[in-house]
Structure formats: structure tokens, C-alpha cells
Amino acid sequence: MSHQPIALPPQIHVFVRDWLSSNNVLLKSDDGDVVIDSGYVAHAPLTLSLLSTPQALGSGPLAKLVNTHCHSDHMGGNAAIKARHGCPIAVPEGEVPLIDAWEQQTLLLAYADQRADRFHYDEILKPGASYVWGDLEWQALAAPGHDMGALVFYNPEHRILVSGDALWENGYGFVMPPEIDFRALPATRATIEMLASLDIRIVIPGHGEPFSDVSAALERAHSRTSAFEADSHRLARHALKVVLSFALLDKRRLALPELPDYVARIGIYRDFNRLFFRLPPVELARWLVAELERAGAARRAEGWLVPA
Ligand SMILES: [Zn+2]
């Protein structure tokens, strides 16, 4: 997919990150700067320094931190940003009970061997409400599926969507199979249909560059969803590959001899293996390694699995 530079209103700055940290979207205003999503905890120092560059905040304070949803790669830097800037944190209403309980499965923490620094939120964002950030009006729209409490933020004036993990240029964040959460896949389809009903010119996704060929992205999301609906094993395979790739980026390398014990111990692999694969852990680990190699995401090096 080729990328023309996308012309955004001057107060919107997108820090395009990677697959470990979500993008950070900075919305500048004389009334106070707002940032959407804070990246992964291991990258918190980098996030702080990106935000402190002269073209970002400079020496000025941050007025607010907002989350599209509360997975570890979007809220992992919340505590560090709040400690640095003393700013309030606003989270989607649907995430509040999970944050209150610091729930390890749905927030994708210990259940997926991911981490985040615990934080306290100050404001609750409600689906259907509108907020003014960066002198622009943003409609908060419920976008359940990948995360059942997720919001997207839509600016009708410039027809810009901040989509989090609900829509990427090529797909969306992995969705729990019906055997784990029966609501997730139907919600994913409903969210794609909701997004297709909006007049969107530019999407600023949670991962990857902003893009403008929105109808093609929606079409890909639509066909991916149909394939998942036809085969929940496919959903399970996809999710485990994504989660292991993430662990590999987080830890930088995984000892191959320890992988069978790892997939037997970490909740998401254990549960998915019991529900879908029913493989000895050594077989599940071998299959995952082969899949990551085949996808070009990882390679073997002297007893280690490393990012390719
Ligand atoms: Zn996510």
C-alpha cells in the first residue's frame, strides 16, 4: 500500500509508533494540549521524549491524556505521562470496571504476558458524547469488538476518525473467539458497519500511518470478519500469533527450549489450546514458531526466537 502524505489540520500531530506501542495523537490548542493513547510501558521513556520535543509540547504542560481503549499497548504509558505532566486521564466508560479491578484477562495483562503501570483515571468518556480537544469537536462512538469498551473519536468537520484498534489500514486488533467471549465477533461486525455509515476522509489508526483509502480498509475488515465468522479456529490461531509476536517485541528474544513451558503457563495459550488445538505444549510451541517464521515475524538464532 503506497502512502501519499496525508494532510491533517495543523493542530493534529501523529506520532506513528510500532506494534508494541500504539500511536500517540497529539491535539494542540491554546486551551491545553491533549494526547490520545500512551503506548506500551516498556516504551514510556520514548513516549515522554517524543511528547517533549519542541514541535510537540515543548516545555508546556499536557492538559489531558485520553485512551481509545485500555489494552496494554495503549495505556501502558498512562502512569508515566501522568507522573511527568500531572494531567488528568480520561478513559472510556466501558473500561472503568476493568481498570478499577485491574482485570488481568480483558485488559490483556498477565493473561497475555503483558504489562502496564497501574494508573488512576480522572474522567469517564461516554459513548455518544462530544468533546473538544485541539479546538476540534470529537464525537466519542462506541466501537466494541477487539475491545468491548473501546471508543473511536470522529471529527465531522474534517471527517477524521481516530480509530484505535477498531480499524487499521489492513485489518483490526485481534478479536476473542466466541468460545471466550460470544459478544466480540458480532460486535466487530456491527462496529465495521457503523464505521461504514460515517463519512470519513482520513483514519488515524492505533497502529500504522494515517490513511485515506477508507473504503478499501473497510472492505478488508469486512472480508476478514466474514472469514473469522466462518471459522473460529482461524480467529484463535490469529490471536495466538499476534500475542506471541507482541511478547517477542516486548522481551526482544524468547528461549526456544522454554517455549513449551511458556505456552502451558500463560493463560491465553493455555485456554486456547484447551478449547481449540488440544496439542501437547511442545507441539503448540513448535507450530507457533513455524507460523511466526512463515509470516516473516521471527527467526531462530542459537536457541532463541528473535524478531525478524
Ligand atoms: Zn487493543
CA of 102 to the centre of ligand 1 (A): 16
292: left (phi over 0), alpha (psi -120 to 50) or beta: alpha
Helix (H) or strand (E) holding 126: none
Name the residue with higher pLDDT: 58 or 258.
258
**Structure confidence by residue, pLDDT tens digits, 40-63:** 999 999 999 999 888 888 767 899
Per the structure block, which three cell numbers stand in for 78? 498512562
Residue with cell 497502529: 207
pLDDT surpassing 90 at residue 133: yes
pLDDT surpassing 90 at residue 6: no
- Closest listed residue to residue 75, CA positions, set 83, 66, 84: 66
Residue with cell 494508573: 119
CA of 299 to the centre of ligand 1 (A): 25
pLDDT surpassing 80 at residue 24: yes
CA of 158 to the centre of ligand 1 (A): 25
CA of 59 to the centre of ligand 1 (A): 30
Per the structure block, which three cell numbers stand in for 122? 480522572
CA of 74 to the centre of ligand 1 (A): 7
Helix (H) or strand (E) holding 257: none
Which residues neighbour ligand 1 (ion) by CB within 5 Å?
A: 71, 165, 173
**Structure confidence by residue, pLDDT tens digits, 160-175:** 999 999 999 999 999 9
CA of 21 to the centre of ligand 1 (A): 10
CA of 303 to the centre of ligand 1 (A): 31
CA of 114 to the centre of ligand 1 (A): 12
CA of 152 to the centre of ligand 1 (A): 12
CA of 146 to the centre of ligand 1 (A): 7
pTM above 0.85, yes or no: yes
The overall average pLDDT reported for the chain is 95
